[in-house]
Amino acid sequence: MSARPNVLAIDGPAAAGKGTLARRLAAALHLPYLDTGLLYRAVARRLLDAGADAGDPVAAEAQARALTTADLDAPNLRTPQIDRAAAAVASLPLVRAALLAFQRDFATAHGAVLDGRDIGTIIFPDARAKLFVTASVDARARRRWLELQQRGVVAAFDTVRDDMQARDAADASRAAAPLRPAPDAILIDTTALDADQAFAAAIAHLAALGWYADANENR
For binding to ligand CDP (CB under 6 A), which residues are involved? 14-15, 36-37, 40-41, 86-87, 90, 116-118, 167, 171
Closest to ligand CDP by CB, 23 or 207? 23
Closest to ligand CDP by CB, 168 or 212? 168
- At closest approach, how far in Å is the CB of 103 from ligand CDP? 8
Phi, psi for residue 33 in degrees, rounded to 5: -120, 135
- At closest approach, how far in Å is the CB of 2 from ligand CDP? 23
Residue 5 one-letter amino acid: P
Q: Residue 174 CB: number of other CB atoms within 10 A?
A: 18
- d(CA 202, CA 20) in angstroms, rounded, equals 12
For 142, what's the count of Cα atoms within 13 Å in the CB-facing half-sphere?
Answer: 8
- At closest approach, how far in Å is the CB of 216 from ligand CDP? 30
Residue 122 one-letter amino acid: I
For 183, what's the count of Cα atoms within 13 Å in the CB-facing half-sphere?
Answer: 1
- At closest approach, how far in Å is the CB of 131 from ligand CDP? 14
Closest to ligand CDP by CB, 111 or 120? 120
Closest to ligand CDP by CB, 121 or 212? 121
Closest to ligand CDP by CB, 179 or 201? 179
- At closest approach, how far in Å is the CB of 13 from ligand CDP? 7
Strand, helix or coil at 15? coil
Q: Which of 134, 143, 142 shows the shortest CA–CA distance to 189? A: 134
Closest to ligand CDP by CB, 57 or 218? 57
**DSSP state, residue 163:** H
116 burial class (0-12, 13-18, 19+ CB within 10 angstroms)? buried
Q: Beta strand pairing status for 112-116 and 129-134?
A: unpaired
* Contact by Cβ (8 Å): 130, 182: yes
- At closest approach, how far in Å is the CB of 83 from ligand CDP? 6
